[in-house]
Structure 1
Amino acid sequence: MKDAVVVGAGLAGLSAAWRLRHTDVLVLESDDRVGGRIRSERRGAYWLNWGGHVFAGHDSSTDELLNEVGVEATDIPGSLQALSMNGKFLRKGHIATYPFRIPMPLKARVATMTAGSKVVAGVARYTQVVRKRAGESGAERQQRIYDFANDRTFDDLVGNLPEDAAALFKTTVTRSAGNMDQISEGAGIGYFSLVLGFGQGLSRGIVGGPSTLTGALADALGDRLQLGATVHEVVQKKDSVVVRYRQDGVDREVEARTVVLATTADVSHRVAVDLDTDMRDALGQIKYGPHVSTAFLTDETSARPWDDIYAIAAPKRSFAIALNQASIVRGREGAGERKPGGSFMTFSPAALGAALLDKSDEEVAQIHLADLEQVLDHPGFSDSVVEAQTQRWRVASPYCFPGRAKLQPTLLRGGGRVFLAGDYLGTLYTETAITSGFSAAQNASDLLANDGRRPITIPNSAQTTRPTTEGTLA
Structure 2
Amino acid sequence: MIELETEVVVIGAGMAGLMAATALSDRDVVVLEATDRAGGRVESVRQGDYWINLGTQFTEGTGPLIEALERHQVAMGTLAGKKVALALHGKQVDTSNPFGLMFRSRMTFLDRLGLAAVGARILAAAPFLQMNPGNRLAKRVRAKLDALSASYVLRGIGSEVARDMVRSWSGQWMGCEPEETAATQFVFSMGILLTDPAKVPNFSLPEGGNQTLTDVLATDLGDRLRLNSPVTSVEWTEDGVVVDYADENGPARIRARRAIVAVPSDVAVKLMPGLPPEYRSAFDDIRYGRYVVVGFFTHEEGPQRWDDYIAVSTPQLSFQAMFNHAAALRGPGARKPGGALACFAGGAVADNLFELTDEEIVNRFTADLLSLYPELEGKLDEGIVRRHHRVVPFWAPGGRASLPTLRRHLGPVHLAGDYQLDMPSLADAASSGERAAEQVRASLPRSAN
The two structures have a TM-score, normalised by structure 2, of: 0.92
| Structure 1 match to 2:223 | 223
Output the CA distance in 2 between the equivalents of 1:176 and 1:3.
37
Is the alpha carbon distance of 1:3 and 1:250 closer, same or farther for their aligned partners in structure 2, counting shifts above 3 Å?
same
Match of 2:438 among 439, 442, 466: 442
Q: Superposed, which structure 2 residues align to 1:38-437 within 5 Å?
A: 38-56=42-60, 59-123=62-126, 127-132=127-132, 147=143, 149-161=145-157, 162-174=159-171, 175-197=173-195, 200-201=199-200, 203-248=203-248, 250-331=250-331, 334-335=332-333, 337-375=334-372, 378-426=373-421, 427-437=423-433
Q: Distance in 1 between matches of 2:11 and 2:313?
A: 36
Tell me if the contact between 2:129 and 2:188 (Cα under 8 Å) persists in the aligned partners: no
Conserved 8 A contact 2:83-2:94: no
Q: Quick check: 1:18 aligned with 2:17?
A: no
Runs of 4 or more, structure 1, over 4 Å off, are: 142-146
Q: Could you say what secondary structure the match of 2:289 adopts?
A: strand
Could you say if the C-alpha distance between residues 109 and 128 of structure 1 is closer, same or farther in structure 2, counting changes exceeding 3 Å?
closer
Closer/same/farther in 2, CA of residues 289 and 144 from structure 1, 3 Å limit:
farther
Q: Which amino acid aligns with 2:447?
A: R
Report how far residue 91 of structure 1 moved. 3.3
In 2, the alpha carbon distance for the partners of 1:433 and 1:228 equals 22
* Structure 2 contact 33–226 (Cα < 8 Å) conserved: yes
- How far the C-alpha of 1:80 sits from its partner, in A, is 3.2
C-alpha change, 1:49 and 1:387, in structure 2 (3 Å) is farther
User: How many Å separate the matches in 1 of 2:370 and 2:19?
Assistant: 38
Is the contact between residue 83 and residue 309 of structure 2 (CA under 8 Å) also seen in structure 1?
yes
Name whichever of 150-159 and 75-84 sits farther off: 75-84
Letter matched to residue 379 of structure 2: S
1:408-457 Cα distance to aligned partner (Å, 9 max, x none) = 111112211111111111214101100000001111111222xxx5189x
Rounded to whole Å, the distance in 2 between the matches of 1:290 and 1:455 is 45
Structure 1, unmatched stretches of 5+, are 137-141, 457-474
Residue 158 (structure 1) shift: 2.2
Number of aligned residue pairs: give it. 439
8 Å contact 1:16–1:441 — kept in the other structure?
yes
Q: Which sections of structure 2, spanning at least 5 residues, go unmatched?
A: none
In the TM superposition, residue 225 of structure 1 has moved relative to its aligned partner by 0.6
| Deviations 1:367-414, CA, capped at 9 Å, x for gaps | 112112222xx3141410123200011112112321122111111122
Aligned partner of residue 396 in structure 1, secondary structure: coil
Q: For residues 455 and 299 of structure 1, do their structure 2 counterparts lie closer, same or farther at Cα, with a shift above 3 Å needed? A: farther
Aligned CA RMSD, in angstroms, stands at: 2.3
CA–CA distance in structure 1, aligned partners of residues 102 and 165 of structure 2 = 8
Give yes or no for contact 2:393–2:424 (8 Å, CA) kept in 1: no
Q: 1:262 and 1:367, CA in 2 relative to 1: closer, same or farther beyond 3 A? A: same
Matched to 1:438, the amino acid is: E
Shift of 1:180: 1.0
Distance verdict in 2 for CA 1:146–1:232, change over 3 Å:
farther
C-alpha deviations, 1:232-271, integer Å up to 9, x for none? Answer: 1000023110111122261111111111111001111111
Structure 2: distance between partners of 1:52 and 1:144: 32
Structure 2 distance, partners of 1:65, 1:99, is 41
Give the letter for the 1:76 counterpart. L
